[in-house]
């Protein structure tokens, strides 16, 4: 993949190409924006443009969190490597993904290197959460704010019969759009729809089976987003609207909408509670059970 293949953020693409052409490279770059807008791909392609297109280059190091946080030993190893001259190229490049997931002790160790970097060292920090990057780090970086990818651009690059709906739901994230395509295909889609229908109709055995049958590789956040979108359509059906995402489920939506009496605010509160429970390490199964039982209680008031 080259710069020409990257989707969206043309202004940033032009800035980076100008840096490559002039070889005037700031020592620390900060790529920030929502998840899935291309920060990692831009960083990798920028590095390859400077170093050469080798699949694995000895002067490129990518640092990622190990679990929830970055590993102190890995970061110290990187800092030590930054003091050494390049093996082959003019620069040594270090991409630190999810830089917001560095602990204070990590940042303190890194700051001196960022303050006085070797002339050949380039650090590229990426983050989905710019507010979590402390001012002492931000003040030493060149800022690259990534914007959401336009719906038109997303739709052009999505190969799916629901490209328009997926591009709308993805909210500017190509990463999320790709995961939505996985959700909308075959068994995953059927299992999620069955989960929602049986959860609302109190067919508990089928409901439990549908939870157990979910693909273990699906992200919990995407499952909750699917559920949220389903209920959006349900409310649209109640209002007589026809701009639905789940167009082939319209008859079931009409049937279920006759028995739903909880508000959108109540629905959102229940979904947020379920997501927070999952983030606190409750099992996804228990979070989904709590969500649908809570909605049933609301409907039966």
Are residue 197 and residue 273 in the same domain, yes or no? yes
Q: Are residues 97 and 10 in the same domain?
A: yes
* Residue 231 is assigned to a structural domain of this protein: yes
User: What is the full DSSP assignment across 134-175?
Assistant: -HHHHTTSEEEEPPPPPHHHHHHT--STTHHHHHHHHTT-HH
The structure tokens listed for 281 are: 């390490």
Give CA–CA dist 121/67, Å, rounded. 27
154 inside domain: no
For residue 297, what pLDDT is reported?
A: 63
**Banded pLDDT at 98 (limits 50, 70, 90):** very high
Mean pLDDT of 90-113: 87
**Is residue 173 in a domain?**
no
Tokens of 163: 């490209």
Regarding whether 226 and 131 lie in a shared domain, the answer is no
- For 16-26, the pLDDT digits (tens) are 999 988 888 89
Which of 122, 147, 172 is a domain's end point? Answer: 147
Task: State yes or no: pLDDT of 204 exceeds 70.
Answer: no
Say yes or no: 80 and 192 in one domain: no
The CATH number that applies at residue 101 is 3.40.50.300
Query: Tokens for 70?
Result: 């970055």
Summarised one tens digit per residue, pLDDT across range 64-88 is 998 888 888 998 899 999 999 999 8
CB 59 within 8 A of CB 51: yes
Alpha-carbon span 246 to 234, nearest angstrom? 9
CB 62 within 8 Å of CB 99 = no
What mean pLDDT comes out for the span 27-46? 92
Q: Is the pLDDT reported for residue 298 higher than 90?
A: no
Classified as helix, coil or strand, 122 is strand
How high is the pLDDT of residue 300? 56
Question: Does residue 143 share a domain with residue 7?
Answer: yes
**Residue 50: pLDDT over 80:** yes
pLDDT at 195 over 70: yes
pLDDT at 128: 92
Query: What mean pLDDT comes out for the span 57-63?
Result: 92
Q: What is the pTM of this model?
A: 0.78
**15 and 85, same domain (yes or no):** yes
pLDDT digits (tens, 9 = 90+) for 238-260: 777 767 777 777 787 777 777 66
- For position 290, what pLDDT does the model report? 84
Confidence check: pLDDT of 301 > 60: no
Q: Are both 224 and 97 inside the same structural domain? A: no
Query: Is 157 within the bounds of a domain?
Result: no
If one counts the domains in the chain, the total is: 2
Instruction: Check residue 157 and give its pLDDT.
Output: 86
Give the domain range for residue 251. 185-299
What confidence tens digit (pLDDT) does each residue in 141-182 have? 999 999 999 988 888 888 877 788 788 878 888 888 888 887
Supply the pLDDT for residue 8: 85
- Whether 40 and 135 map to the same domain: the answer is yes
16 in a structural domain: yes
Q: Is the per-residue pLDDT at 124 higher than 90?
A: yes
φ/ψ region of 20 (left if φ > 0, alpha if ψ in -120 to 50, else beta) reads: alpha
Are 197 and 252 a contacting pair, CB within 8 Å?
yes
Which pLDDT score, from 0 to 100, does residue 188 have? 78
Question: Does 142 share its domain with 35?
Answer: yes
């Amino acid at each position: 993949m080259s710069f020409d293949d990257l989707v969206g953020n043309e202004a940033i693409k032009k800035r980076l190409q100008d840096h490559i052409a002039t070889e005037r490279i700031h020592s620390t770059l900060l790529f920030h924006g929502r998840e899935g807008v291309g920060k990692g791909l831009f960083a990798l392609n920028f590095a390859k443009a400077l170093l050469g297109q080798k699949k694995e280059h000895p002067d490129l190091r990518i640092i990622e969190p190990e679990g929830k946080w970055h590993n102190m030993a890995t970061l110290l190893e990187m800092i030590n490597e930054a003091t050494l001259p390049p093996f082959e190229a003019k620069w040594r490049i270090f991409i630190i993904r999810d830089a917001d997931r560095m602990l204070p002790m990590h940042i303190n160790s890194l700051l001196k290197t960022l303050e006085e970097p070797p002339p050949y060292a380039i650090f590229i920090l990426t983050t989905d959460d710019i507010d979590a990057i402390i001012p002492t780090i931000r003040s030493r970086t060149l800022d690259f704010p990534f914007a959401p990818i336009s719906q038109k651009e997303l739709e052009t690059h999505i190969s799916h019969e629901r490209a328009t709906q997926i591009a709308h739901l993805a909210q500017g994230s190509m990463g999320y759009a790709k995961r939505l395509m996985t959700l909308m295909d075959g068994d995953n889609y059927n299992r999620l729809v069955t989960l929602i229908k049986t959860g609302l109709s109190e067919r508990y055995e089928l409901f439990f089976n549908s939870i157990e049958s979910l693909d273990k590789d699906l992200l919990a956040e995407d499952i909750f987003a699917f559920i949220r979108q389903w209920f959006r359509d349900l409310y649209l059906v109640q209002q007589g609207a026809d701009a639905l995402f789940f167009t082939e489920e319209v008859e079931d939506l009409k049937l279920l909408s006759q028995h739903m009496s909880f508000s959108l605010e109540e629905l959102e509160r229940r979904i947020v509670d379920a997501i927070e429970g999952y983030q606190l390490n409750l099992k996804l199964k228990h979070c989904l059970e709590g969500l649908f039982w809570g909605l049933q209680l609301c409907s039966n008031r």
